[in-house]
Structure 1
Amino acid sequence: MKHSAVTLEDKYATDSDRFYLTGTQALVRLPMLQRELDVAAGLNTAGFVSGYRGSPLGQVDIQMWAARKHLENHHIQFRPAVNEELAATAIWGTQQLPLTRGARYDGVFAYWYGKGPGVDRAGDAFRHANYAGTSRHGGVLLMAGDDHACKSSTVPHQSEPALMAAGVPILVPADVRDLLELGLHGWAMSRWSGRLVGFKTVGDVMDSAASVEFDLKSFRIRLPNGEFPDAGIRLPDVALEQEARVFAVGLPAAVDYARANGLDRIVMDPPGARIGVITAGKSYQDTRQAFADLGLGDRAPVRLLKLALVWPIDRATIQAFAQGLDEIIIIEEKAPIIEQQVRDTLYDCVNRPTIYGKRDPAGQVFLRDYGEFTSSELAIMLGGRLARIVDNDDIRGRIGFLKDQATKIARGEILAVRRPFFCSGCPHNTSTKVIDGSRALGGIGCHTLAMWMDRSTETFSQMGGEGIAWIGQAPFTEETHVFANLGDGTYFHSGYMAIRGAVASGVNITYKILYNDAVAMTGGQPLDGQLTVPQISRQVLAEGVRRVVVVTDEPEKYDDVTDLAPGTKVYHRREMETLQRELRETPGCTILIYDQTCASEKRRRRKRGTFPDPAKRAFINAAICEGCGDCSKASNCLSVQPLATEFGTKRRIDQTSCNKDFSCVEGFCPSFVTVHGGGLKKRQKVDARAFDLPDPVLPSLAEPWNILVTGIGGTGIVTIGALLGMAAHLDGLHVTSLDMMGMAQKGGSVFSHIRLASDAAQLHGLRVSRGDANVLLACDMVVGASKDALATLRAGVTHAVLNTYETPTGDFVMDTNTVMPGARLRRAIADVIGDGAVDALNATALATALMGDSIATNPFMLGYAWQKGLVPLSLDSLMRAIELNGTATEAIKAAFNWGREAAVSLAPVAEAAGISVEVAAPKTLDDIIAGRAVHLPAYQNPTTARRYQALVAKVRAREEVLFLGGTALTEA
């Protein structure tokens, strides 16, 4: 592959049949492919996409906007909706087009997207649209995003039951390529059956990326034999006739289509197989990886059926699959959707096999119906079943390792946890504070994190139900008032109705409407429509609220605003406590609109030059700071960090992450210094040398090579995964990458799983399996030593590159006595793989000193790992991947090269950075006492110094007598 010919637009180019893209980007390309299919068939169709963002579909709108030109060229309209229900209704409208006058297209193919809770919300619209049916040249897919592990949700969810209740057939893709292939089949199925078609997605598919080969020219749609069912939309229509078409015609037609196109496939069928496995989607990938974890791969002695259509299943396919089997294992997460249908299908068969699903034949739990599975769990289960027919010491050894590893990790101590936390300068740091004697009710949004802080914020509701729980509590308690947090995105989505309900009920409640000017939780998107503070004030006053106030960090920006609701006053955020006390005493429903731009969005806009960047900086004079932590209490800010000094732990402001909120200055402390009128003097980059480094010996790819990158949300971990994935694609390798973030963009833990292979058949599960990591690139020690990371390590297999820089966690903000256990974190990794397999260096300090910005840390570490021979990718491909990324290209290349030189010889790199790698000799007790005695006259007066020396001498003399020369108390 010619590197210069590859561009990021390849994933949307009509003439490209091999491309690298994410699951979300596949959903962008999908309607383009459908349009091309229709044009080739002589149809003039258009496309329509609508929905509401939410993990794992939180980036659909961002990617759609980025591909706007491509979509327009393919006659595809993207219209994000106010909420999921309205989006579903708009999708229904596309199928009504042939019934109207003036239609300019033969039909409109459409898809709805939304998170699992959005499936529940849109259920009534789905049922109405599905009963009405689709148009012959239209078709509808319902992209349901499920979060089985509840990594970015308030509850775990599974969309199949809701879709089944609406009579919607369900397809389940297993990987990025499946999103394209099954997506096209889904629209064809929708047209043939006249029904909406469900399309279940999960994070392991949507948050992954892969090098995909897909040739539209060779893609074929085979219509079932017989006449067109004609079960779609029509006028006039009758409700009971609609129901009959759904169940008597539409669903059987969907099954016919799946069978005609071979969507359900037997992918393994060795001669004499007595055990069968049925699975679908992510569970299929996990099952294939489980066989690899057992050392069997495609040689596993089982018949394996991969389902695409999980409801309704094709009974004929199941009956044929079951022939000659003694037992069938059904692997699916959550509820037994497939299992119940298989049991029903085989119940009347004479020689039916024994079925293992959620329960075994004895009625005991076999596979749990909650949480999610990993390939390692499935390997232990499958290995146990196969042990009856395969006498193999290697399999038993692998099962033993997996069990032992799980036990060790479970028993291990949790040294530190990097939980999601408010960003530096986040408006929620101030807006979610609650006055003494009151409590707040949480809701959906970043502000939910307040529930895990010392903020008297209790419980939460579904999106749009914020505060309404109080209506059910108020008549039965002596408590007279509560606050309720409501984000502006949720207000626009459905929260406005909650305020209407609170007013109608007459309860005493104050809604804090957190106006942040962006949907920060899913990437900083704008609201799906126009919403301003004056509009909100007028809307809520018209609903009958008793009082409206606006609180902001910039009250002066309202000096010329004339369209606020009558009686609405604007206050500085410093008056929050007083205002909350007043509102608490005001009967009825009151509103506090907190107006401050999202910190992350503020940073983005400043980089683009579209947001003011005040020439002001805050610093802490360490000589005056006494380490009391009042600044952390006042600001709740991660940029207030510990500073180790010879006089104890002080505080410092991390200028790299500071968003200039300045709430830390509100603490009563003389150590703060604010500098006005000047910018931060950026460290000078050290000129990159003319690197002349030896080429490393790169690993063989006879077996898949697994890299786990760990770090902190918002620091570029996902970018490293993307660079590695693109470089592998350029090298012609097969690659999958999976970014596991949850809410980690808020400073939490991020894991990027990158798997490389020379043969696509070697790659199945998207996650690095237990004990299978070849490389741990731990850009943050806390995440690198977490149980999830440690579980992937194995002595003799894994080599770790560890950044020893200690970035404080949110625990430090809430408890200023928190100490980062750096040495123990490093030890935890070394205990698993051995000291010789760990390369530890302070990459952040080195990269920041060399490049002038801590963002250079991760490419520095990548360069180090590559030079150590731990990354089997060519240098040319890595450099081209950096160029394609298009951000700070030369700086990232330079950081990568500095990392390479550090891998060859650390000392000259540290010297260039002005950092000593020599370990300073520890000070003697006399040195410590003398240093304090010199300092105290300047700090206070000579008398203080003399008193100090006398006291220490007295304690020292007594300690030497009592503890035989001990000095621990004296040193303390």
Structure 2
Amino acid sequence: MTHVARNIDLADKYTLEQGRAYLTGIQALVRVGFDRIRLDRRAGLKTGGFISGYRGSPLGGYDQQLQSARTLLRAHDIVFQPGVNEELAAAAVWGTQKVDLAGQGSTHQGVFGIWYGKAPGVDRSGDVFRHANASGTARLGGCLAIAGDDHLAKSSTVACQSELTFADLEMPVLNPADLQDVLDYGLHGLELSRWSGLWTAMIALADTMDSSGIINVDLDRHVFNRPLDVADPRGDSDLNKKIFLANRLEFEVSVRERRLPAAQGYARANGLDGVRFGSRRPRIGLVATGKAYRDLRQALDIIGIDEARAREIGLAIYKVAMSWPIEPNGIAAFARGLEKLVVVEHKRGFMEPQIKDILFHWPEHMRPEVWGKTTPKGAPFLASVRELSSADIVPALLAVIPEAQQGEDMRAAARRLVEQSVFAAGHATDARRSPYFCSGCPHSSSTKTPEGSRAMPGIGCHAMAEIAERATDGVVAMGGEGVPWIGQQPFSKDGHMFANLGDGTFYHSGSLAIRQAVAAKAHITYKILYNDAVAMTGGQVHDGPLSPQKIAALVRAEGVERIVVVTDEPERYDGANGLPAFVTVHHRDELMPVQKDLAAYPGVSVMIYDQTCAAEKRRRRKKGHYPDPATRLFVNDRVCEDCGDCSVQSNCVSVEPIETDFGRKRHINQSSCNKDFSCVSGFCPSFVWVDGAGPRKAAGRLDAHDLLAGLADPAIAPLERTLNLLITGIGGNGVTTVAAVLAMAAHVDGIETLTLDMTGLAQKGGPVTSHVRFAAPGREIEGPRVPLASLDVLIAADMLVAAGGETLAMTHRDRTRTVANGRVAPSAEFVLRQTQSFEAAKLARTLGEASLGFDAFDAAGIAEQLFGDAIYANMMLIGYALQKGLLPVSPLGIETAIRLNGASVAQNIAAVAAGARSPPIRRGSSGW
């Protein structure tokens, strides 16, 4: 395939008004606002927009993307104002629809509102949504509520499914299946809201929000039809009203009898639902929405059912855009003449009961069998817990497709999935890479408690207190930190409880928990960590003025009479104003005696632990915004006796084991060390302080110019079918950046691509995987996830993650080629247990058995030598894969993508070139 680099600009994602642009799901959400204003301006309307949500309950960085696009927001009359919490943000969005009702007029003809939050935020905001939805929307306004659901609780405390909540609130629910749908449904959602007077909800899952790809951004595509078969729901009286005691019962009637039918009419008039695949006269009908639609398409692809095969079988998919309330005419027309109707959806049945209601009164001979969570006879069929993968859907398809129409290829594909799952289960390593406190994390120090104490974790980074085995009680809902103790205390033999609380959570709602504890005269100590950032979700600033002094003043005003500050820098409080007179300040070395004193206090006490987030220190130091001590700490391995005290004192993942000729010793990983220096708190003569020095590196002698061009022309992997690539690594080490570079390189080269970043708590050193799928120009890619037994290229930046069951299930020994980093970083297990339950050699053997070809080299070690930082190892692995002919993108495409990314350009280009020249470590050699 010939690749020609195209002229691409990073601003295309928001500024292009025709053609195709590469963007992420989150960026598609941002673009919704811009396109809404552009369409209004084309129509001669002067409208504005208002976006609000809670920063600590994000949709994969939606708020950060909005902040970075603030210049464009201003140009489009869009205001981004985060809320202190989700329900207050929802109330602010509600207010956008009442501008013209205030009696003072407006600067704009209408203002749209967008609310965002995760599922817990939906729960918290239910009362606001119920009132706002009932009171209506403006004709040229409209409101969209975007809910981030987490089906597998990867970044939530419980599994989430918000559709049923929205249905109870009587808000129509749109469910996008891919990036194109995110943009299109977002615009339809606002238009639907304008037409019907209802708020519209849109479900946002990681498979769309954390994916990236290329979509059509032509503004001319967006034509919104008003239904002709239903009356204008506003009729002769506007539905947008203020709620008063005198009119409150009117809203129930208008929502149920006028507005919801109007929403269904809108879906019908705009063809939001319809047959999107297969036969036009089917006997077997499949119904799906959102992510389930993509999973279903992928399952069909796995067993070899394309459009032509589907027509032969008499099979079709009816794709639903608005999963509640389902538009009845379309689904009835689709069901008519079917023998079987199969509803494929994740979690609890949502569409299935609606469809059964629609079909219930049909004569029995006309009514198809309905398969969903159960078979027509009531036996379990599709699971209602966790989620349905494409591999889970395959056996369900074979159960409804007649045996006579199942070819041997279908059955062989199904067997291959089972065989690979068995292989993965039998070969996967038992060791896990668990998320953990960052190096130097203040939570790592602040969550320690005196022996025998009880402690409740908080939300966010505090949840890792459980992983560190410091939390004795389970998690609670945000804003209720410590409050369960009020119900326990009268009946418990324990006399005291510690409760962890973050500064952002305190400002969000946690202050009410302290008020409740004071009112109940509870014997509890709140440990409020002030780390100067909303750390877990990207290091955003607080939405309001907050400082240790303000926290102390607020809790004092709530009635707390025993308050202390513990900090790593008590000297900052010398002569400082703002603390109540009786508040004492202590060094963090005094943490244990201070806590014992607070535990003895008979009432509510508060400890404010003041230490800046370690990850934020690192980010700010890179930008020159935070002091960077010209000091580094090393371990003299000839003196070290591997006693482990440094790990115990610091609880730090940067203190790592190292094998020497004299046995196992310790060393400090200079690439991850955040210079907290708590590892020297004990007594150990092996530490060496070095002032004014940095890591030795050769990068200064490397000329990035033409490095890639100087390589022998690599063979470019053909795209006869979708090529599936997976990167496995450690959070914070640039895995998702590498995936983004590969995807942008594909865009530059003019081929199709989809990516998906699976992160969860990966930003805290946990496992991260990035799926990258490539296809020839114009060929559709069935979803961003790599299916089971279908992986072509595995980039094992971390072999521990790569040797896990989830990754091994994607590999196939007749297909997968693996390129691995031969060094395996220690996991949190070493901090907690002073041992590791895995060996690099064993992991390598496992990956070798799972692969058609396997190569590894010490990418991390070479990166440290060349660049002074192991983070460049990932780019080196890409360079190696490129030179081996495993990638479908060109060196020029990769170089262009790196330059567009703009971060450490010379070093990253040099890393790709260095990787292409690196010799592999052969299995069984001394390199292991």
If the length of structure 1 is used for normalisation, what is the TM-score?
0.91
1:376 to 358, 380, 391: 391
Structure number, greater radius of gyration:
1
- CA distance in 2 between counterparts of 1:917 and 1:144 reads 48
Q: Show CA shifts across 1:69-108 (max 9, x none).
A: 1111010000011000001100110001111213111110
1:410 to 415, 425, 429: 425
1:322 to 335, 341, 346: 335
1:228 to 207, 226, 232: 232
1:725 to 743, 756, 760: 743
The amino acid of 1:889's aligned partner reads V
Aligned residue for 1:618, secondary structure, equals strand
- CA distance in 1 between counterparts of 2:471 and 2:122 reads 32
The answer to whether the aligner puts 1:745 opposite 2:748 as a matched pair is: no
> Where does structure 1 lack aligned partners over 5 or more consecutive residues?
908-915, 923-972
Q: Show CA shifts across 1:876-923 (max 9, x none).
A: 111100000001101110110111122xx569xxxxxxxx9996699x
Contact 1:208–1:766 (CA<8 Å) still a contact in 2? yes
The answer to whether the aligner puts 1:687 opposite 2:690 as a matched pair is: no
2:834 to 816, 824, 827: 816
Q: Please tell me the root mean square deviation across aligned C-alpha atoms, in Å.
A: 1.8
Instruction: Please give the residue correspondences for 1:898-913 in structure 2 after superposition, counting only pairs within 5 Å.
Output: 898-902=914-918, 905=919
Residues 589 and 629 (structure 1), Cα distance of their counterparts in 2 relative to 1, 3 Å cut: same
- CA distance in 2 between counterparts of 1:527 and 1:16 reads 37
- CA distance in 1 between counterparts of 2:536 and 2:337 reads 52
Residue 752 of structure 2 is matched in structure 1 by 734
- CA distance in 2 between counterparts of 1:570 and 1:679 reads 34
Residue 907 of structure 2 is matched in structure 1 by 891
The amino acid of 2:274's aligned partner reads R
1:267 to 276, 283, 297: 276
Contact 1:136–1:191 (CA<8 Å) still a contact in 2? yes
1:98 to 97, 100, 106: 100
Residue 756 of structure 1 is matched in structure 2 by 774
2:250 to 241, 257, 281: 241
Contact 1:438–1:456 (CA<8 Å) still a contact in 2? no
Deviation of 1:604 (Å): 0.5
> Where does structure 2 lack aligned partners over 5 or more consecutive residues?
none
Instruction: Please give the residue correspondences for 1:492-511 in structure 2 after superposition, counting only pairs within 5 Å.
Output: 492-511=507-526
Residue 951 of structure 1 is matched in structure 2 by none
2:413 to 398, 405, 409: 398
Instruction: Please give the residue correspondences for 1:188-267 in structure 2 after superposition, counting only pairs within 5 Å.
Output: 188-225=191-228, 227-230=231-234, 232-235=239-242, 238-267=247-276
Contact 1:24–1:60 (CA<8 Å) still a contact in 2? yes
Residue 941 of structure 1 is matched in structure 2 by none
The amino acid of 2:174's aligned partner reads L
Contact 1:53–1:115 (CA<8 Å) still a contact in 2? no
Aligned residue for 1:31, secondary structure, equals helix
The amino acid of 1:505's aligned partner reads A
Which stretch shows the higher mean deviation, 707-716 or 53-62? Answer: 53-62
- CA distance in 1 between counterparts of 2:288 and 2:927 reads 61
Aligned residue for 1:148, secondary structure, equals coil
The amino acid of 2:722's aligned partner reads P
- CA distance in 2 between counterparts of 1:449 and 1:236 reads 44
Contact 2:25–2:210 (CA<8 Å) still a contact in 1? yes
The answer to whether the aligner puts 1:716 opposite 2:729 as a matched pair is: no
Contact 1:53–1:113 (CA<8 Å) still a contact in 2? no
- CA distance in 2 between counterparts of 1:717 and 1:779 reads 8
Contact 1:46–1:76 (CA<8 Å) still a contact in 2? yes
Q: Show CA shifts across 1:377-428 (max 9, x none).
A: 1122212322435130000100111112222323445332111010001011
Q: Show CA shifts across 1:119-144 (max 9, x none).
A: 00000000000000001110000001
Residue 970 of structure 1 is matched in structure 2 by none
Deviation of 1:4 (Å): 6.7
The answer to whether the aligner puts 1:178 opposite 2:181 as a matched pair is: yes
Instruction: Please give the residue correspondences for 1:51-66 in structure 2 after superposition, counting only pairs within 5 Å.
Output: 51-53=53-55, 57-66=59-68
- CA distance in 1 between counterparts of 2:243 and 2:388 reads 48
Contact 1:510–1:591 (CA<8 Å) still a contact in 2? yes
- CA distance in 2 between counterparts of 1:355 and 1:546 reads 64
Residues 314 and 758 (structure 1), Cα distance of their counterparts in 2 relative to 1, 3 Å cut: same
Q: Show CA shifts across 1:921-951 (max 9, x none).
A: 99xxxxxxxxxxxxxxxxxxxxxxxxxxxxx
1:455 to 470, 475, 489: 470
Contact 2:439–2:653 (CA<8 Å) still a contact in 1? yes
- CA distance in 1 between counterparts of 2:141 and 2:341 reads 38
Deviation of 1:759 (Å): 4.5
Contact 2:18–2:219 (CA<8 Å) still a contact in 1? no
The amino acid of 2:320's aligned partner reads L
Contact 2:111–2:140 (CA<8 Å) still a contact in 1? yes
Residue 943 of structure 1 is matched in structure 2 by none
Aligned residue pair count: 909
Deviation of 1:520 (Å): 1.1
- CA distance in 1 between counterparts of 2:813 and 2:282 reads 35
Deviation of 1:788 (Å): 1.1
- CA distance in 2 between counterparts of 1:920 and 1:701 reads 37
- CA distance in 1 between counterparts of 2:588 and 2:154 reads 33
> Between the two proteins, what is the percent identity of the paired residues?
46
Contact 2:60–2:209 (CA<8 Å) still a contact in 1? no
Deviation of 1:823 (Å): 1.1
- CA distance in 2 between counterparts of 1:920 and 1:802 reads 16
Residues 77 and 84 (structure 1), Cα distance of their counterparts in 2 relative to 1, 3 Å cut: same
Residues 687 and 236 (structure 1), Cα distance of their counterparts in 2 relative to 1, 3 Å cut: closer
Contact 1:56–1:147 (CA<8 Å) still a contact in 2? no
Residues 830 and 662 (structure 1), Cα distance of their counterparts in 2 relative to 1, 3 Å cut: same
Deviation of 1:733 (Å): 1.1
- CA distance in 1 between counterparts of 2:927 and 2:278 reads 67
If the length of structure 2 is used for normalisation, what is the TM-score?
0.96
The amino acid of 2:441's aligned partner reads C
The amino acid of 1:280's aligned partner reads T
Residue 132 of structure 1 is matched in structure 2 by 135
Q: Show CA shifts across 1:559-612 (max 9, x none).
A: 131111120111000000000000000011000000000000000001111111
The amino acid of 2:912's aligned partner reads F
Instruction: Please give the residue correspondences for 1:527-542 in structure 2 after superposition, counting only pairs within 5 Å.
Output: 527-542=542-557
Deviation of 1:528 (Å): 1.0
Deviation of 1:758 (Å): 1.4
The amino acid of 1:473's aligned partner reads Q
Contact 2:213–2:755 (CA<8 Å) still a contact in 1? yes
Residue 847 of structure 1 is matched in structure 2 by 863
Residue 952 of structure 1 is matched in structure 2 by none
2:803 to 779, 785, 790: 785
Q: Show CA shifts across 1:796-842 (max 9, x none).
A: 211000111020000000011325411111111122225xx101111
Contact 1:551–1:593 (CA<8 Å) still a contact in 2? yes
- CA distance in 1 between counterparts of 2:369 and 2:214 reads 39
Residues 478 and 833 (structure 1), Cα distance of their counterparts in 2 relative to 1, 3 Å cut: same
Aligned residue for 1:258, secondary structure, equals helix
Contact 2:60–2:210 (CA<8 Å) still a contact in 1? no
Deviation of 1:686 (Å): 6.8
Residue 962 of structure 1 is matched in structure 2 by none
2:717 to 691, 696, 699: 699
- CA distance in 1 between counterparts of 2:758 and 2:727 reads 10
